[in-house]
Amino acid sequence: MRDQLYIDGQWQAPTDGRRFEVYEPSSESVLTEVAAATGQDIDRAVQAARRAFDEGEWGRSTGKERAGYLRAIADNLRGRREDLARLEVQDNGKPLPEAQWDIDDAIGCFDYYADLAEGLNDDGEVVALPDERFACRVLREPVGVAGQIIPWNYPLLMASWKVAPALAAGCTAVLKPSELTPLTSLELAAAADAAGLPKGVLNVVTGLGRDAGSPLSAHPGVDKLAFTGSVPTGRAIMQAAAQDIKNVSLELGGKSAFIVFDDADIEAAVEWILFGIFWNQGQVCSATSRLLVQDGLHDRLIERLVEETRRITIGNGLQPGVLLGPLVSAGQHAKVLQAIEAGVRDGAKLATGGKRPAHLDKGWFVEPTVFLDAPLDSAVWREEIFGPVLAVRRFKDEAEAVRLANDSQFGLAAAVMSVDPARCRRVSRALRAGIVWVNCSQPTFTQAPWGGYKQSGIGRELGVWGLDNYLETKQVTEYLSDRPWGWYIK
C-alpha cells in the first residue's frame, strides 16, 4: 500500500504512476518508495470527500455514530503500537521511547475526540431571548471538507491532531503528510479502512508540497484548511485560502524563551532545559530554544548544563539508551549546521557541540549544541533553527527577562522557573505566548489548547478548541406567536 494513495475508501495508484523515495535518517539509505500525487489525484480525493459529506451518510451522522468509528481507529492503532513506533523511528529518526510516547498520544487523541463527539448535542442549545414571541436554538455543524497538511516532526501524532477532531465534528478530510515522513499516515488510512469508515470520509494523499500540498490549498472544493509547519508555507497557504475565503487554522513556528530565576533548583532547571530543547532532536515548534538565566544563577547553571549536555547518548533511535537521534533529512542537517556556523560568525560563544558526532560517520546527526552570550540581533537568537541548538543569555531582573522573552516575531510557547508562585503567575500573564509552562517545559495534553500568538499561527488545536476548529455555528430562530407581525400588513 505504500506506493498507493488512499482515496474514496480504496488504495489507488497515482494518476501518472510516479513515486518518490523515503529515507531512513540514521543510515541515509532508502527505506521505501511512496506514491507521488499530482493535482489530478488531489482533485479525486477532494471530490471523494465532497461526495461523502454532501451526499453520503457521514454528513448526516450523529456524534455517537462518529464516536464509534473513532474508537475503532484507536483500537486498531493500539493493537499495532510497537510496529507503528518502530516504523516512526525508521521514518523520522527519533528515539524509540519518544516514538512509543507519540503513538500512545495519537491513540489517546482518537479516544478523547470520540468522547467529545458523543457529547455533541445534535439538537442544539436553547438561547434565552428577551422577546417571548421567539425561540432560538444554536446548532454546531461540521464545516465541510477539510484539507489537512502536516509536518514531519510528529508524523502520526500530527495526523491524529488533525483527523480526530475533524471526524468527530462530522467533517470529511483530505490529509497530505510530509513527503519526508509519510509512512504512519498511510498506516492511519489502513486503520480507518479496517474500522469500516465510510468511503471518502478520510483520504490520505502522499506527495511533494508543490505537486500535492499547493493544489490542496487552492482547491475550491475544500471548505477548511488546517496546516502545521513553517511560517513561509503557512503564509502561502493563507494566500491560497484567501481566494475562496476558506476557514483557516495555522500552527507555525516558534522561538520560545525559558526564563530561569536565581531561586530555581539547578538540577530541576537543567533537566527541563535539556528536555525543552533536545527532545525530538530540537525539531519541535514549541522548543524552548532561547534560555534566559538570572545573573546570580547563570554561571553555576551553565556549568551543569554543559556537563549534562555532553553526556547525552547519540545514535540510532532503535538502540537502547539513545536519547538523541538524527535529524530528519539531509536538507535539515545542512540547515542546522549552517545555523551553527552563522551563530559562531555572529559572535555567540560555542560552549559545546556544533558538529557531527565523531563516532557517527553515517546518518544526519548533530551534537546537542549550546551557545552562550548570543547577540540579540543574531540569527541563532532570533530565528527558528528546528534542531538541537540552544542559545543562552543572562538577565538582571524580572522586567528585563519578560522584555527579552517577548522580543520575538513568534509567540507559540514560553517557560518560567522559580520557587515563587506569585512571580510565576505574574510572568505567565506578562508573556505573549499561547502556551506557558511553569517549572517545566514541553508537557502537552490533548485536553488543553495548543497554538500561538503573532507569527506562530491562527486558531487553537486540541481540547474542545480543536473540535471548534471544524464546527460552524448556526442560529435557528423561530416565530412562535399566533399574532401577525403587523409591520407592513396591518
What letters, b where the CB count within 10 A reaches 16 and e where it falls short, cover 42-70? bbbbbbbbbbbbeebebbebebeebbbbb
Please name the residue that has the C-alpha cell 502556551.
Answer: 435
Q: Among 179, 251, 367, 461, which one carries the catalytic annotation? A: 251
CB atoms within 10 A of CB 476: 11
Say how far apart CA 294 and CA 273 lie, in whole Å: 14
Say how far apart CA 158 and CA 150 lie, in whole Å: 6
Torsion over CA: 32, 33, 34, 36 (sign):
positive
Torsion over CA: 150, 155, 161, 164 (sign):
positive
Say how far apart CA 102 and CA 185 lie, in whole Å: 13
Burial of 463 (0-12, 13-18, 19+ CB in 10 A): middle
Say how far apart CA 264 and CA 216 lie, in whole Å: 48
- Non-local (6+) Cβ contacts of 219 within 8 A are 42, 43, 46, 147
Burial of 112 (0-12, 13-18, 19+ CB in 10 A): buried
Eight-class DSSP state of 282: G
DSSP string, 388-450: SEEEEEEESSHHHHHHHHH-SSEESEEEEE-S-HHHHHHHHHHS--SEEEESSS----TTS-B
Helices (H) and strands (E) in the chain, counts: 15, 22
- Residue 393 in contact with residue 415, Cβ under 8 Å? no
- Non-local (6+) Cβ contacts of 466 within 8 A are 113, 161, 165, 449, 450, 460
Say how far apart CA 456 and CA 228 lie, in whole Å: 10
Whether residue 271 lies in the annotated active site: no
* Catalytic residue IDs: 251
